[in-house]
Amino acid sequence: MAIKTEPVMINLGPQHPSTHGVFRMRVTFDGEVIVDMEPIFGYLHRGIEKLAESKTYLQNIPYTDRLDYVAAMSNNLAYVLAVEKLAGIAVPERAEYLRVIMAELMRIASHLIAVGALLNDMGAFFTPLMYMFREREKILDLFEMVCGQRLTYNYMRFGGVSHDIPEEFTPALERFIDEMPRFIDEYDQLLAENEIVLARIKGVGVLPADKAINASVSGPVLRASGVKWDIRRADPYSVYDRFDFEIPTGKMGDIYDRYWVRIQEMRQSVRIIEQAMAQLPQGEVRTRVPALLQPPKGEAYARIEAPKGELGFYLVSDGSPKPYRFKVRAPSLLNLTVLRDLVIGWKLADAVVIFGSIDVCMGEVDR
């Protein structure tokens, strides 16, 4: 005799340790299996796009820090690239290299959180995350040396960066670069050789390549599905065309591949920083740009490969000191497009891990 059952609806979030911020999933279950999921956004909506229209171009740099606060340096970079494109500002060579070094350090720091938090979601409560924080701490120390801040850096400026690196930065960075590959091996050993971890993430939440492209997914999630698309290579900005690095791609697009791609990208970032340090030229770090910058009428779209995917800024100028339109193409929001399709058919504990493997930052999703 068939037992009559009814679907059960459960609210996951907005306050939940696995949602990495204030994100809510309204999940419908049939027994233990997810049959439907609706993501609900907006708990961290601060209206940054509207706010930016009432501030000058320079005043908007600190706001970009607050978008993806786990990778603030990358947001700075994308925004200043857009304004430089709009106003036609040249950047000194040394500043370009410093930008690349900071962006790659930021990528390592962001991926460390992504990988650590993923394990946190799987139930390895905070121990692996603290291993990752050990190295992230060193990166934050480096950032503190160059700009005095540890979370919201406000470091990039139109036509360069705010400060040159201090004397103690180079030896500290060299020490970090020296140690980092060993630490990455350590994470990989601890995690990828752990049978419980593998059982939870191999073959779970598979995202096929064509679906990923159709849903505008970008960054490590897209590459884990086997699409070799990295803005640093496909559309090089700054001086990325001068470095030798590989683009790791996954095979099937499951959680393991997303994890693996991030681990490999950290290794490649270390390589890029090594080359950038070796090539770092002397000279100015900033061109003179008026504080009340008034770009000519027009529009510009600049994009970078942020740790979470393609981060783009679309700016429209009407010739005044304030942007007429300030739009952020947030990779975190667009990567969540596929979340519903990924979690259907899996259980609640898997949904938490699948969500963690996409690696979103709610500051960027809700803006």
The residue ranges that bind other proteins (CB under 8 A) are: 41-42, 45, 47, 49-50, 54, 211, 213-217, 227, 229, 234-236, 301, 303, 310, 312, 314, 316, 324-325, 327, 329, 333-334, 336-338, 366-367
The nearest distance, CB 303 to other proteins, in angstroms, is 8
The nearest distance, CB 287 to other proteins, in angstroms, is 24
Cα 292 to Cα 60, 158, 322, 327: the distances in Å are 12, 11, 9, 20
Cα 11 to Cα 16, 273, 333, 347, 367: the distances in Å are 10, 43, 20, 14, 22
Cα-flanking dihedrals φ and ψ of residue 266, to 5°? Answer: -60, -40
Q: Which is nearer to other proteins, 165 or 212 (CB)?
A: 212
The nearest distance, CB 46 to other proteins, in angstroms, is 10
| Residue 316 DSSP symbol | E
**How far is it, in rounded angstroms, from Cα 79 to Cα 316?**
13
The nearest distance, CB 229 to other proteins, in angstroms, is 5
The nearest distance, CB 128 to other proteins, in angstroms, is 31
| 39 SS3 class | strand
Q: Which is nearer to other proteins, 120 or 317 (CB)?
A: 317
Q: How far is CA 258 from the centre of its chain?
A: 13
Q: Which is nearer to other proteins, 116 or 253 (CB)?
A: 253
Q: Which is nearer to other proteins, 184 or 333 (CB)?
A: 333
Look at residues 99, 133, 77, 111 and name the one whose alpha carbon lies nearest to residue 266. 111
Q: Which is nearer to other proteins, 87 or 338 (CB)?
A: 338
**How far is it, in rounded angstroms, from Cα 213 to Cα 113?**
25
| Residue 254 DSSP symbol | S
